[in-house]
A and B are shown apart, each in its own frame.
Chain A
Amino acid sequence: MFKIFAILVTIISIFCGNAFSQDAENIIKYRKNIMKSIGNHISIIALNLKGKVDISSDILPHSKALHITLAAIDINKTFPEGTSNSSGVQTTALPKIWEEKKLFIDKMQESINKAKELVIAAEGNDKKLIAKALGALGKSCGSCHNEFREKKN
């Protein structure tokens, strides 16, 4: 009887573990896509600022999209417990996100504020000011990455 019970527990735990791992994998993929879309908006704005393309009318909508994307991030749902780089799934999210969650939320809010400033600069249509606002946003993103993202190299 005990043997049957032990086998059942093992099977259930394997299935649950696998399901959890799949959940983690999906959410990590999901938030990586969010970060990539933020990077893409920045890249589009930067291409205009560099003068590689001259579709300046795109700067404002992409600044707005960037701001909306950042502001829409639900930290509890997008960064649930157990999805750090120690979860066994490939991610650069450090456990510090959950250990110092308040700091993480504050840093995220700072980036949202900088993105809002970028929108205001984009409305003004002055490329120098837009570049300055984009730089400030980058600094804020970098400050969060330095604390909470595993170094790439």
Chain B
Amino acid sequence: MAVVITNLEKRKINILNYKNFIKFIFINYFFLNIPAYCDDKGKILAYVAGCYGCHTSNNNTPFSGRYKIKTKYGTFISPNITFDPVNGIGSWDFKSFSNAIAHGISPNAKPYYPVFPYKWYKDLSTKDSLAIFNYIKSLPQSSIKQKSHNLYFPYNIREFLWIRRILEEKLFKSQTPVIKNKVISEGAYLIKNVGHCGACHSPRTIFSIVKNINDLSGRPKSNNNLNDGVPNISNNLNKGIGSWDELDIVFFLKNGFKPNGDYVESHMSSIIENGTSYLNENELYKIAKYLLSNYNK
């Protein structure tokens, strides 16, 4: 990929130019068939999937946890996910890791709180989760100890999560549509299974269960949920981002600017900085295609 881009650059093709950008995507897909991520795949995935963002409270000790997430249930404090054998996940093999991210179950069979977006990681490919596993394994270990979550009663009783899981399974099972278009399908994968955008942008119901994983119509601001107030990013022309085009979305996810020149708000700024900005234009274009497609009504 790097070689291809360098060659393109040598030929002085500016990929930010619209026509050349389309040409670049076209050549990429139909002739070169370049896979979604090439260089530093594990690192890019770990950033876009939010591993860095949610497990880093201090940039000098990445992935060491202690990042605080305030919710109406109390404050969640993320764990150390470096491979320290005592305070991190050093004793885990890939099977334990894969089970944790795809099913939200710890190696000692305890359920994770849904603040950890395992629901979205469920369909993450084995290849991609292995790339993340290997990347995190390659990082320096940190001995920072895990802090307990500070949750209100009864949410501090972890066993209740089994009941929530049953409710979620029985009442709100989302049907994922089959997408035949390869670009849109890969965009959907990046949006849902890697970027887990729905963790914030999907409307929720009782016990914060997501009603429909494919619905990115946002959550209105309310007084009783600190995580509320998330914009509608469906393709709706008036309520969503239907008036944006692919280049607007690519530029936004790379630099944080909306088409009107306003900069992104609050948590999304760190998601761009520590996540989507790591993706190349090609991958961001796939995301844009999905967001503007009718699969994102």
Given contacts A43-B261, A50-B248, A152-B265, contact A142 B256 (CB under 8 A): yes
Q: Distance in Å from the Cβ of A91 to the closest Cβ of chain B?
A: 16
Given contacts A46-B257, A138-B256, A142-B269, contact A51 B21 (CB under 8 A): yes
Q: Total interface residues on B, using CB and 8 Å?
A: 32
Q: Mark B1-21, 1 if CB is under 8 A from A, else 0.
A: 000000000000010111111
Bound state CA distance, A127 and B255, in angstroms? 13
A51-B14, A146-B269 in contact; A43/B263 too (CB < 8 A)? no
CB A29 to nearest CB in B, in angstroms, measures: 18
Asked if A146 and B266 make an inter-chain contact with CB atoms under 8 angstroms apart, the answer reads yes
B139 to chain A, nearest CB (A): 25
Are A134 and B257 interface neighbours, CB within 8 A?
yes
Residue from B17, B220, B250 having most chain A Cβ neighbours under 10 A:
B17
List A contacts of B256 (CB < 8 A): 135, 138-139, 142
A103 CB–B CB distance under 8 Å:
no
A76 at the interface (CB under 8 A from B): no
Asked if B278 is an interface residue, CB under 8 A from chain A, the answer is no
Q: Is A39 an interface residue (CB 8 A)?
A: yes
In the complex, whether B73 has a CB less than 8 A from a CB of chain A is no
Report, as a range, how many residues of chain A touch the other chain: 20 to 34
In the complex, whether A34 has a CB less than 8 A from a CB of chain B is: no
A127-B16, A138-B255 known; A39 vs B261 contact (CB < 8 Å): yes
- Bound together, the chains give a CA A38 to CA B18 distance in angstroms of 25
A34 to chain B, nearest CB (A): 13
Contact B260 A49 (CB under 8 A): no
B247, A50: Cβ atoms closer than 8 Å: yes
Query: Contact check: which of A41, A46, A127, A151 meets B265 at CB < 8 Å?
Result: A151
- A40 CB within 8 Å of chain B: yes
The SS class assigned to the A binding surface is helix
B231 lies within 8 A of chain A by Cβ: yes
Which of A119-151 touch B at CB < 8 Å? 127, 131, 134-135, 138-139, 141-143, 145-146, 151
Chain B: CB-nearest residue to A49: B16
Using Cβ atoms and an 8 Å threshold, which residues of chain B touch A152? 231, 265
Chain B contacts with A in 257-295, Cβ cutoff 8 A: 257, 259-266, 269, 273, 277
B261 and A38 form a contact (CB under 8 A): yes
Q: Which of A131, A143, A146, A153 contacts B255 (CB 8 A)?
A: A131
Which of B250, B261, B277 counts the most A-chain CB atoms under 10 A from its CB? B261
- Of B18, B231, B256, B263, the most chain A CB neighbours within 10 A belong to B263
Q: Mark B237-257, 1 if CB is under 8 A from A, else 0.
A: 000000000011011001111
**B148-164 CB contact bits vs A (8 Å, 1 = yes)?**
00000000000000000
Is the CB of B221 closer than 8 A to any CB of chain A?
yes
**B262 engages A39 (CB within 8 Å):** yes
Residues of chain B at the chain A interface (Cβ within 8 Å): 14, 16-21, 218, 220-221, 229-231, 247-248, 250-251, 254-257, 259-266, 269, 273, 277
**A: which residues have CB within 8 A of B?**
38-43, 46, 49-52, 54, 127, 131, 134-135, 138-139, 141-143, 145-146, 151-153
The 4 A-B residue pairs with the shortest CB-CB distance, nearest first, are A39-B261, A43-B261, A42-B261, A51-B17
A-B contact pairs, 10 of them (CB 8 A): A40-B261, A50-B18, A51-B18, A51-B19, A54-B17, A135-B255, A135-B256, A138-B263, A142-B265, A153-B229
